[in-house]
Structure 1
Amino acid sequence: MPPVKVSFEFFPPKTDKMGETLWTSVGKLAPLKPTFVSVTYGAGGSTRERTHKTVERIVSETELSVAAHLTTVEATKDTVDDVLRDYWAVGVRHIVALRGDPPAGVGETYVPTPGGYANAAELTVGAKGIADFEISVGCYPEKHPESASVEADIDYLKAKVDAGATRAITQFFYDNDVYERYVERVRKAGIDIPIVPGIMPISNFKSLCRMSSLCGASLPKRLHALFDDLDDDPAQRQLVAATIAAEQCVDLQKRGIDQFHFYTLNRAELTLATCRMMGLTPAVTEAA
């Protein structure tokens, strides 16, 4: 199997205790030498300052390459452009350009901000106009819930690529056949950038069910059966979650996939275990 490349997603902490968890996780995952780590941006820009502080701290205190998430919601082009300039000034060279969720949250109707970028494709063009950022974007193996069809969704991905995106990271999924069929359709549409699978280790199954219902990502019946009655057994739940993530990633490796993006939820344990099962450990990485 080809050597594995990984990247990790974090979110800006709301409290000091959450901050301790985040920085502990960053410290544990950094020795895996990820291609980059990304920091999310809340709905409506609600975490703008915390995102920027988290990004700046990772840049200044670690050797990690940082990708800052940026959205179009509740901000004019001038405001977004100022954020982009600030990121470039502190050393950020990679942006994850997203339309973003409305301030009310996922599932609400999106309305472009007057005077703002209307979508991720426009945001990509704007970012490239500010500086020579590397641009990653999102994509959806089961289509975005607001898209009329998978074909329309892929057309929109192509617009983001035409605007300058060089990597697409998928919404989480748990059926590798769904991902593989999606990549086949994307390639037939003439899109040749990496379609990096987004891996969500399952730390809380009830929360995952809520997220999946809002974002249109299906959950196989076997997951419901595996996590049934485990609410009061965190140790067994952790073992089941680690097994599921490892099985998914090893199967993707066998299918020729060598890049993985982990939605860590600021916790390192499940991601570390999964990377180890794929043959990626700090010792191996440092010796390479």
Structure 2
Amino acid sequence: MRTSRRTDSLDLGISFEFFPPKSEKMEETLWASIERLAPLKPNFVSVTYGAGGSTRERTHNTVARLIRETGLQPAAHLTCVDATRAEVDDVIRAYRAAGVRHIVALRGDPAGGVGARYEPHAGGYASTPDLIRGIRDIGDFDITVSAYPERHPESPDLLADIALLKRKVEAGATRAITQFFFDNDVFERYVEKVRAAGIDIPIIPGLVPVHNFAQTAQFAKRAGASVPDWLARRFEGLEDDPHTRQLVAAAVAAEQAFDLVDRGFRDFHFYTMNRADLVYAICHLLGQRPQKAAAEVEAAA
């Protein structure tokens, strides 16, 4: 760890991702996490959309409650899987009516899950660029899209993936958030290739705290993200030691973020998994403080 770094001098932008709850207990956990992280004043918080649009109503309800009950700026996920243009447009209009001005536009995963082949709906948006143009036709939204430092699993190669990102930008995307990664060299080379392709929107690194290494490794495999051997060694032997595992996870994620800061990156998007403690600890290490605490410190100075 970099104990000599003055984290209070860092000017960072942070954002968080949540997913809509499936049960009353999960809803309690979600809103406890939101309450814990909200004082850090993220630039925005995103709410995911399940495979095949399976969480459409729950996503909308979560976003609407964020607007009603918090000062956070929600970014609602939207996909074009298994839906007509009219159905997707209705969701966009419902978001706008609820006060949403930021949409995360994604093609989305097929409802069949892992291994299922994506097939555009006969009457729907065929691709993410098409979806972005549809959003633009309805309202002046801030539009975030996905990016893949190690390419999307369905892309033939990284250059094809970057070409698709460029089409998303040409359609009206304003920023991209990456799939999570653990090798900062991979991310930095990706950004260099993106810039060389003439893409100038912000590329925000997506970071995931490792709550459970085995689960994260499986998720990474499905998402096409590599897991370095050094990371596996960090968590070796901690399967039945959740307390130490959490300490190691916070250190690993903070170390990755500090290294990205050293490389000139200042914005970070955290995949929270609806759990606040690890993310809060990492943000604290990065010098982020609740607004109230910062004001009290200034008043006391």
Q: What TM bracket, shorter-length normalisation?
A: over 0.9
Task: Map 1:45-56; keep pairs closer than 5 Å.
Answer: 45-56=53-64
Aligned residues: 288
After superposition, give the CA deviation of every residue in 1:7-54 in whole Å (9 maximum; x if it has no partner): 000000011111111001100110011000000000001111111110
CA deviation after TM superposition for structure 1 residue 284, in Å: 7.9
Structure 1 CA distance, aligned partners of 2:29 and 2:115? 29
Structure 2 CA distance, aligned partners of 1:137 and 1:270? 25
Residue number in structure 2 paired with 1:272: 280
Task: Map 1:88-237; keep pairs closer than 5 Å.
Answer: 88-237=96-245
Q: Is 1:78 the equivalent of 2:86? A: yes
The TM-score, its normalising length taken from structure 2, stands at 0.93
Q: Is 1:23 the equivalent of 2:19? A: no
CA deviation after TM superposition for structure 1 residue 222, in Å: 1.0
Is the 2:181–2:226 contact (alpha carbons within 8 Å) kept by the matching residues of 1?
yes
Query: Which of 69, 79, 85 is 1:61 aligned to?
Result: 69
CA RMSD in angstroms, aligned pairs only: 1.3
Please list every run of at least 4 consecutive aligned residues from structure 1 whose deviation after the TM superposition is greater than 3 angstroms: 283-288
Query: Which of 283, 286, 289 is 1:281 aligned to?
Result: 289
After superposition, give the CA deviation of every residue in 1:113-151 in whole Å (9 maximum; x if it has no partner): 111111111111000111111100000000001111111
Runs (5+) with no aligned partner, structure 2? 1-8
Structure 2 CA distance, aligned partners of 1:179 and 1:260? 13
Question: Secondary structure at 1:70's aligned position in 2?
Answer: strand
The TM-score, its normalising length taken from structure 1, stands at 0.98
Structure 1 CA distance, aligned partners of 2:291 and 2:163? 42
Report sequence identity in percent.
60
Structure 1 CA distance, aligned partners of 2:47 and 2:115? 22
Structure 2 CA distance, aligned partners of 1:138 and 1:108? 20
Is the 2:39–2:292 contact (alpha carbons within 8 Å) kept by the matching residues of 1?
no
Residue number in structure 2 paired with 1:8: 16
Runs (5+) with no aligned partner, structure 1? none
Residue identity matched to 1:141: P
CA deviation after TM superposition for structure 1 residue 2, in Å: 4.6
